Amino acid sequence: MRREPPQRLSDYGPLLFPAGMLTLFFVVPFATMIAVSFFQRQQGGFYTPAFVFDNYARFLSLFFGKVLGFSLFLAIAVAIACVVIGIPFTYLLSRSRRSLQIVWLVALLSILSLSEVMIGFAWSTLFSRTAGITNLFVWLGLMEQAQALTPSFGAVMTAMTYQAFPYTVLVLYPALVRLDPTLTEAARTLGASPVKAFFTVVVPALRNTILATLIMVFIFALGSYLLPQLLGRPQHWTLSVLITDQAIYQSNMPFAAAMAVFLVMVSLALVGLSLYAGQQRQAK
Amino acid sequence: MSGLSIQNVTKQFGTFTAVNDISLSVPDGTFVCLLGPSGCGKTTLMRMIAGLDLPTGGSIALGGSDITKVPTHKRDLGMVFQSLALFPHLTVGENIAYSLRIRGTPKDVQKKRVEELLAMIHLPGFADRSVNKLSGGQRQRVAIARALAISPKLFLLDEPLSALDAKLREAMQVELRQLQQRLGITTIVVTHDQREAMTMADTVVVMNKGEIRQAAAPVDIYRRPADSFVADFIGQTNLLPFEADSARRVTVLGQLIDGLYAPSSGAKGLLSVRPEDVQITAPGNGAISGTITFIRDLGGAIETFVEAGGSQVIAVSSPRSRPEVSVGQGVGIRLDPETSVVLAK
């Protein structure tokens, strides 16, 4: 059967439902947020419609600049950590026995059923002085005495990587399973050690998948606001934490909206930049 | 000694023995085909030579030094895989130069070598093309050039032509053989196609169930098969039961064949007679008597099916020497003692 492009207006009918839902639940709230970001805040109260740039102006300070910078840095670090751990892990997983693969995939999927709160508290317990893993190290003779590993940047990174890891594996897994295993064998017969074969064949052959994974984890990590609060110091708080703080505790909706809009803009710009860079390299 | 030497190599996967105590020596510059039905262990044997699988027992030596435990990337060889395994993210030139790049060869030397190899495989100017846009035959050539880039001591090909259509396959067989003779490189090809093996090889190694049944020149394999498996697997043959008397004289289908002797008196077994060596004559006068059941005229050759003594005998003749017979007619069959092979049990 030949497929023709839609001719009449009624041919677009099936598209109406998703388009309507998208408008209702995404475009309208986002437009509202943009509008609110220009509103005038009423001290001690709510806000009045206006068109002022105060909220954006207030945002342009060293303090918020630092927070934004840290948020982006944290999201990029988590994305890189996930991919660096995820690729060798998924590669070995895809080459292992079928039954073992299923066990691992089920275990990873079950992480997705945990809420961010549970993950946060589980890690804060594991990193605590009284009940944490350092007690195990003491028992093994690796450490002198138990100590608290939280709050710290490492704790935030660990928990966020843990949370994003299942998504990483789920995106990488199909691509690695489809990868012809004779490619690495061919590389080995051509003189590449297994490690060299991995970096010269497996990684470049998966370049687009890796880029997509990096972007996905980056965006996922950018929205995290509970784990930095549970496991980090105030200097580890992300912009999402401040947005929540402004919106809920300070009742400063216009400012929270301005920060959210700015965050979306910056992350879109970064994603666009990395896609552009990827295309440039492919065209080369 | 030089060349490739395989000594008592065995490979077991769990309780299954894929390769059972195989010894084989391949002199420098020869072309060897490992031939056998699927699951006979030929690919496993090749993977052990390449170092992609490790033997359970035995040893492999190349150019006089033991390579049994040497990892694949340190063996001096080139291999073409059944899937070809061209790197999809690299161009034709980058694929061919891969082994040189890994070894840190200077860029200009790489470029020169790639041009040489592209000329050799009749694809000059293809260096910057994407491998995903090549035809089957072109991909095949690129895989061959890539494997030969470092001029290895040993050239391995695992079912290299199986993805090509019949016409192209025949042409590539001739081309591959000519290339091997020009370069004088020791070459081993795994195949299940006996035509391919006969076309290319100096030595055909027929394998079955993890063992070598016969290793000899193609003509010898065809003319003097070592056992009934080889006789049946290589080309078409008539396998007829025989009995020998006390003077070792052989009786087939109730007829004593003059001048044909078994290795021992009273022996029983099968006689292998190629269809083109079966002669159809008038009945009687020392010929095996039979009845024609079917005639297949293929234009270039005529196959005559004869029922004799409970066995079916197929005779092939050219249209010029076409016997004047018809279905249902009683005829005589003559076997030539020179070309009949006695395969004692």
> Which residues, listed in sequence order, are joined to residue A241 by a DSSP beta bridge?
none
- What CA–CA distance (Å, rounded) separates A125 from B201? 70
Distance from the Cα of A185 to chain B's closest Cα (Å) equals 7
A114: exposed, middle or buried (Cβ count in 10 Å: 0-12, 13-18, 19+): middle
What pLDDT was estimated at residue B207?
Answer: 93
Asked whether B344 and B263 are in contact (CB, 8 A), the reply is yes
Asked whether A72 and A270 are in contact (CB, 8 A), the reply is yes
Nearest-CA neighbor of A260 among A55, A66, A48, A61?
A55
What pLDDT was estimated at residue A281?
Answer: 66
> Above pLDDT 70, what percent of chain B?
99
pLDDT, tens only, B203-240: 999 999 999 999 999 999 999 999 889 998 888 899 99
Of A182, A192, A207, the CB nearest to B102: A192
Nearest-CA neighbor of A261 among A279, A273, A247, A275?
A247
Q: In the numeric block, which tokens belong to residue A274?
A: 């990395």
As a 3-state breakdown, chain B gives helix, strand, coil percent values, each rounded to 5, of: 30, 35, 35
Reduce the DSSP state of residue B60 to 3 states and report it.
strand
Q: Does pLDDT of A226 surpass 60?
A: yes
> Which residues, listed in sequence order, are joined to residue B5 by a DSSP beta bridge?
B25, B61
Helices (H) and strands (E) in chain B, counts: 8, 20
| Record: fold of A53-283 | MetI-like fold (1.10.3720)
- What CA–CA distance (Å, rounded) separates B236 from B76? 39
Do the chains contact at B52 and A180, CB–CB below 8 Å?
A: no
How many other CB atoms sit within 10 Å of the CB of residue A216?
18
Q: Does pLDDT of B286 surpass 60?
A: yes
Q: Does pLDDT of A278 surpass 80?
A: no
Q: In the numeric block, which tokens belong to residue A232?
A: 């980090």
Distance from the Cα of A196 to chain B's closest Cα (Å) equals 8
- What CA–CA distance (Å, rounded) separates B94 from B262? 60
Residues in chain B with CB shorter than 8 Å from the CB of A201 are 87
What pLDDT was estimated at residue A222?
Answer: 87
Chain B: residue whose CA lies nearest to A188? B73
A65: exposed, middle or buried (Cβ count in 10 Å: 0-12, 13-18, 19+): exposed
What region, left, alpha or beta, does residue B278 occupy, with left being phi > 0 and alpha being psi -120 to 50 degrees?
beta
Q: Is some CB atom of chain B closer than 8 A to the CB atom of A74?
A: no
Q: What radius of gyration do chain B's Cα atoms show?
A: 25
Helix H or strand E segment including A255: helix A253-283
Do the chains contact at A200 and B102, CB–CB below 8 Å?
A: yes
| CB contact residues (below 8 A), chain A span 179-198, against chain B | 180, 182-183, 185-194, 196-197
Split at pLDDT 50, 70, 90, the class of A148 is confident
The angle, 0 to 180 degrees and rounded to 10, between the axes of the packed helices B92-102 and B107-120 is 130
Compute the mean pLDDT over every residue in chain A, rounded to the nearest whole number: 86
In this prediction, residues B247-260 reach a mean pLDDT of 84
Split at pLDDT 50, 70, 90, the class of A132 is confident
pTM check: above 0.80: no
> Above pLDDT 70, what percent of chain A?
97
CA angle B288, B293, B294 (to 5 degrees): 120
Split at pLDDT 50, 70, 90, the class of A262 is confident
Of A191, A204, A205, the CB nearest to B73: A191
Do the chains contact at B85 and A180, CB–CB below 8 Å?
A: yes
- What CA–CA distance (Å, rounded) separates A275 from A266? 14
In single-letter form, the type of residue at position A31 comes to A
Q: Which of A75-89, B47-61, B156-170 has the lowest mean pLDDT?
A: B156-170
Domain boundaries, chain A: 53-283
Q: Does pLDDT of A282 surpass 70?
A: no
Interface test with B, best of A189, A202, A281 (most B CBs within 10 A): A189
Q: In the numeric block, which tokens belong to residue B250?
A: 């052989």
In this prediction, residues A79-90 reach a mean pLDDT of 94
Q: Which of A135-139, B98-102, B321-325 has the lowest mean pLDDT?
A: B321-325
- What CA–CA distance (Å, rounded) separates B242 from B343? 9
Strand order in the sheet with B77-80: B77-80, B154-158, B186-191, B31-35, B203-208, B211-216
In single-letter form, the type of residue at position A19 comes to A
pLDDT, tens only, A2-56: 667 777 777 777 888 888 999 999 899 989 888 888 888 877 667 778 787 878 8
Do the chains contact at A190 and B98, CB–CB below 8 Å?
A: yes
Helix H or strand E segment including B12: strand B4-13
Of A183, A188, A207, the CB nearest to B73: A188
Its ipTM equals 0.81
What pLDDT was estimated at residue B251?
Answer: 86
Residues 6+ apart with CB under 8 A from B265: B244, B245, B246, B247, B248
pLDDT, tens only, B28-65: 999 999 999 988 899 999 999 999 999 999 999 998 88
For chain B, the residues whose C-beta falls within 8 A of a C-beta of chain A are: 50-52, 71-73, 75, 77-79, 81-83, 85, 87-90, 98-99, 102-103, 146-147, 149-150, 156
Domains of chain B, each with CATH number or no CATH:
4-232 (3.40.50.300), 238-344 (2.40.50.140)
- What CA–CA distance (Å, rounded) separates B173 from B181? 12
What pLDDT was estimated at residue B96?
Answer: 94
What pLDDT was estimated at residue A44?
Answer: 66
pLDDT, tens only, A153-172: 999 999 999 999 999 999 99
Distance from the Cα of B95 to chain A's closest Cα (Å) equals 10
What pLDDT was estimated at residue B218?
Answer: 92
Distances in whole angstroms, Cα of residue B211 to Cα of each of B18, B205, B243, B343: 9, 10, 28, 18
Of B71, B81, B102, the CB nearest to A182: B81
- What CA–CA distance (Å, rounded) separates B316 from B221? 20
The angle, 0 to 180 degrees and rounded to 10, between the axes of the packed helices A153-178 and A116-126 is 120
Do the chains contact at A191 and B147, CB–CB below 8 Å?
A: no
Split at pLDDT 50, 70, 90, the class of A245 is confident
